[in-house]
Amino acid sequence: MDNPAPGTSRAADVFLPATYARGVPYELFARLRREAPVCRVPEPAVGPWREGPGYWAVFRHADVKHVLRTPADFSSHLGATQIRDPDTPADLEFVQAMMLNTDPPDHSRLRRIVAAAFTPRAVRALEAAIAERAASLFAAGECDFVEVAADLPVWTLAHVMGVPSQDRRLLYDWASRVIGYQDDEYAGLSTADAARLTPMGRRAVAARPRPVPGANPRSRAALRDMFGYAHDLARSPQDPESVMSAMLRGGLTEAEFENMFFLFAVAGNETLRNGIPGGLLTLLEHPAQFARLRRDPSLLGPAVEEMLRFWPPVIHFRRTATRDLTLGGRRVRAGEKVVVYHASANRDPSVFPEPDRFDVARTPNDHVSFGSGPHVCLGAHLARVQLRAVFAELLSWDVTLAGEAVRLTSNFQNGLKHLPVRLRPRT
């Protein structure tokens, strides 16, 4: 193993979930970009989760984009895309069937199956309904904005996937369990009212496994209630335009089908659940920029991109080296984990002048919050439509903090659990 790079004495902090409960460590990222832009990071045991072998962390924008754009050298498939290794070979084999965890040409095949649901034309057909839904979310008084804002991505996903309206809350719960497994409040979350669910929704609730400390929340066993629901939904009459119908027509294997459902139910949910509250908190912490956006709503497009840069919903993604190679001057060996930090790349001063300044008119804005290369987020256009709809509506409200924002404890998701705000219509 290479000797440790200079400046890496605190590198372990970028792995620890507790670090992010206090905030994304941007000052540490800045130091590592300067002194050790590719460096080894240990994976110590955390609570019930076992120690890992460590990984190469990548902090500079150019290196991050290179890794994401070069699947021949940096595979999504070999070890999947989470820092944590699956618990067993069978667990790894199962998650490797997810589109997120494939390399070309399998990735291209899977992406084509569902791509039609996310074309600009398909998203335009949803824009009016999304705007109407966004306008209905807010009422005068105090609320937890995290809870209120979660409605729109869940509603949109249910619409795209053909999930009955009664069962939408299941999507919220499944995503909470997966994205918040490092956080005690979210790991066991169950908010769906069984009495209001469809029969297949009630069967899913009844099949929910008991939480097992330290168990991988992304395993087939941990999500058997969600996969059971997916198969029930597949046996129900489908809207021919829904993603579910596309999956059923696509000739997927059972593992591919289950993982595709997982990808939409969870990954399609988490970006907006993190990005919308994070974007509002960023505006509230930069009142001059919020006022500027109110004065000139034509800035909404670049403002959304700047929110995504400043508050990236996902902190990192993992790849696995396919061969011995050199990255950022460091020798990486075949089979080693390589983890790219989107949150660091988005503050790289070689790409973003004054990177710690929030500017709703920033352009160009080459952030990597939706990734880059073959795995660039399939739902990015739909996510942007939802972000613009929410913030276009919020421009007609006075919004003030009504309490302290509470962050999600996660080294993967840049999220908030609570954001108490007070809303008052602008006159």
Taking only the tens place, the pLDDT of each residue in 239-269 is: 787 888 888 888 899 999 999 999 988 887 8
Q: Whole domain around residue 69: which residue ranges?
A: 11-425
What CATH number did the domain enclosing 314 receive? Answer: 1.10.630.10
Tokens of 342: 């989107």
CB of 74 closer than 8 Å to CB of 93:
no
| Domain presence at residue 124 | yes
Residue range 321-327: mean pLDDT, rounded: 98
pLDDT of residue 268: 79
Share of the chain above pLDDT 70, in %: 98
| Domain presence at residue 22 | yes
| Domain presence at residue 340 | yes
CB of 371 closer than 8 Å to CB of 145:
no
Q: Using 50, 70 and 90 to split pLDDT, how confident is the model at 71?
A: very high
Instruction: Check the CA dihedral 157-281-23-60 and report its sign.
Output: positive
Q: For the chain, what is the domain count?
A: 1
CB of 413 closer than 8 Å to CB of 270:
yes
pLDDT of residue 1: 41
Instruction: Check the CA dihedral 380-386-387-392 and report its sign.
Output: positive
| Domain presence at residue 2 | no
State the greatest distance between any 2 C-alpha atoms of the chain, in Å, as a whole number: 64
| Domain presence at residue 110 | yes
| Domain presence at residue 57 | yes
| Domain presence at residue 49 | yes
Strands 52-58 and 337-341, by their bridges, are: parallel
| Domain presence at residue 6 | no
DSSP 124-167: HHHHHHHHHHHHTS--SEEEEHHHHHTHHHHHHHHHHHT--GGG
Q: Using 50, 70 and 90 to split pLDDT, how confident is the model at 8?
A: low
Q: How far apart are the first and last CA of the chain?
A: 64
DSSP 332-355: E-TT-EEEEEHHHHTT-TTTSSST
pLDDT of 237 over the 90 cut: no
CB of 247 closer than 8 Å to CB of 261:
yes
